[in-house]
Amino acid sequence: MGWHDRLSLSDLTFAMITSLLFILFAGLAIGCALAVVAQRNPLYSAISLIGVFISLSSLYLMLAAPFIAAVQIIVYAGAIMVLVVFVIMLLDLEVEERRHPRLAYLVPVAIGFAAVLIAEVAFVLKSVPLPKVHPPGPADVGLTASIGVGLFTKYLLPFEITSILLLMALVGAMTLARRTPLLAAVGHRLVTGSKLPPAAAAEAETTPKSDERN
Amino acid sequence: MDWNNPLIHTVVVIVGITVAFLSIMLLVAFTVLAERRVLGFIQGRLGPNRVGYFGVLQPFADFIKTMMKEDLVPDQSTKFVFLLAPTVAVITAIMAIIVYPFGPTVWLPFIGSFPLVIARFDVALLYVLGVTSVGVYGIALAGWSSNNKYSLMGGLRSSAQLISYELALGMALIGVILMSGSLDIYTIVEQQSGAYGMNWNVFYQPVGFIIYLIAAIAETNRVPFDLPEAETELVAGFHTEYSSIKFLLFFNAEYINMITVSMLASSLFLGGWNGPGVSVFPWLGLVYFAAKILFFIFLYIWLRGTLPRFRFDQLMNFGWKFLMPLALINIFLTATVQAFGGDLIALIKSWFA
């Protein structure tokens, strides 16, 4: 029996294409991630970060998790990064200046720690045998329906707790951003417990904001 | 023919993408012509009718003329982003077309039977929403990189508008998703066949359909939601500084977006390729699908010829304070009926028994 009896040529081609795509997207992700930190222009950093998210989403897609891939694009690239780009555009940030680092003596320390960490990773990779590739799970593992069933049966409690956490963040953000003095006063009283009159509380709310703007 | 062979599959997909791309581009060209002609008739004039029969060649003449223009790049602009923006706009616009089913399973001599869809996957609807949400960058970055206050204001307005109406749009789709139990557009279209067209989702989700239609018009920056390009305030909005082929790309992106939201509307609400006689002659599905898209395009042009423009605060209030709550109520009602509808009907029947 030749090898092609057990492993058909199309399987080999498939494996080759998959690894090529993996190298492409993984390289793209790493390159974009490096660009995020290396770029001096904040908007270029943001665009690179979008590139990271899109490459990551492609990797999820190759891991047979289309739902996660789509959500990655919608939530991170489509919502969060839009806000970041908005802020950069509205604040009109200048290109970052190259300054002399104030804590320069920490640089060799950082390099030392990084070397130790890399050595540890190399040691672990060398000493511990790599686990065999997991056999593919049930065919519906990454699909929307199975994720929905999981979320609303086994993981219902964490799901609900997360939603309450998000709701709290939402309400908190709205309370902070609200300009009406009354609500600000109520919020101030709820947070600090002090019984300032609404006008004074509103003043206390707005004063630091105007400082920030200057 | 062996469809599972990866080589054949790849070739088929590439052929499908090419055909779909060329058809969409032709459709864009003739939509532009149709827009000018129909607007002309609405406004009591003729519109372009000189180049070719009925002005059929006008879009190509316009194309050549625009290509011949000088390609200006503002001196103070951010060059890379200035070039990136129109590319992003047109790529994200065209990427959405691969998931739409253009017709049912058809048969061709020498090739065999195959479905008229380029890619079928589990999260097709999420894919469309994701690609659309990335499209915001094209406009926002164009406005920012031009280094022009009109462009910046246009870009900001446009992005704010897109983000606001994307929510209503997504929520209008949830009603359909709840009813069909799938995110795969092909499955959703198949579920609407039969029953003489009474299975179309528009009859079960009328509110969702209206919300989707309004939000889709706002998403594509068309009248009455064309605030980003309000000429009297913003010159030409985010593409003020763009000329020649880069302007053409933005122009194309807008019209491709029009076509893709029309495709989504007809697939999800109007039964896609479903119509009389499709089960006997599957190729008719292509005709019905095209007819539904053309109906929506005509609706777009009709609205442009009829309605005045919103003010920006009206636009925001309408989106956030009217469409969003309405969409939420629609989701709530749909979910309730889906969960308890059968019990409710049984209860009412028991009263009369």
Q: What is the pLDDT of residue B66?
A: 86
Q: Which residues pair with B103 in a beta bridge?
A: B116
pLDDT of residue A6: 42
Top mean-pLDDT range of A125-134, B225-234, B252-261:
B252-261
Residues on chain B touching A73 (C-beta within 8 angstroms): 130-131, 133-134
Residue A1 CA to residue A69 CA, distance in Å, equals 40
Q: Is the pLDDT of residue B237 over 70?
A: yes
Chain B residues in contact with A149 by the CB 8 A cut-off are: none
State ipTM: 0.80
Mean pLDDT of B100-115: 78
What pLDDT is recorded for position B243? 79
Q: Do A82 and B140 touch (CB under 8 A)?
A: yes
d(CA B81, CA B258): 25
| Predicted local confidence at residue A142, as pLDDT | 65
pLDDT at site B326:
92
Choose from A9, A89, A152 for mutation: most chain B CBs within 10 A. Answer: A89
pLDDT tens across B264-306, in order?
999 888 888 887 877 788 888 888 888 999 999 999 889 888 8
Q: Are B133 and A77 in contact (CB under 8 A)?
A: yes
Return the pLDDT at A166.
92
B107 bridge partner residues: B113
Task: Tell me the residue type at B61.
Answer: A
Residue B184 has pLDDT above 90, yes or no: no
Distance from A19 to chain B by nearest Cα, in Å? 16
Quick check: helix, strand or coil at residue A5? helix
How many beta-carbon pairs under 8 angstroms link A with B?
Answer: 75
pTM for the whole structure: 0.80
pLDDT in tens, A156-214: 999 999 999 999 998 888 888 776 666 666 666 666 666 555 555 455 555 554 444 44
Query: Which residue from A minimizes the CA distance to B9?
Result: A10
In the chain, the amino acid numbered B72 is: L
Q: Which of A10, A73, A89 sits opposite B140 (nearest CB)?
A: A89
- pLDDT at residue A5 in the model: 41
Report chain B residues whose CB lies below 8 A from the CB of A44: 80-81
Instruction: Give percent of chain B above pLDDT 90.
Output: 7
Residues of chain A with pLDDT under 50: 1-7, 201, 209-214
User: Could you report the per-residue pLDDT of B40-91, keeping only the tens digit for each?
Assistant: 888 888 888 888 788 888 888 888 888 888 888 877 777 788 888 889 889 9
- Residue labelled with tokens 């770029």: A39
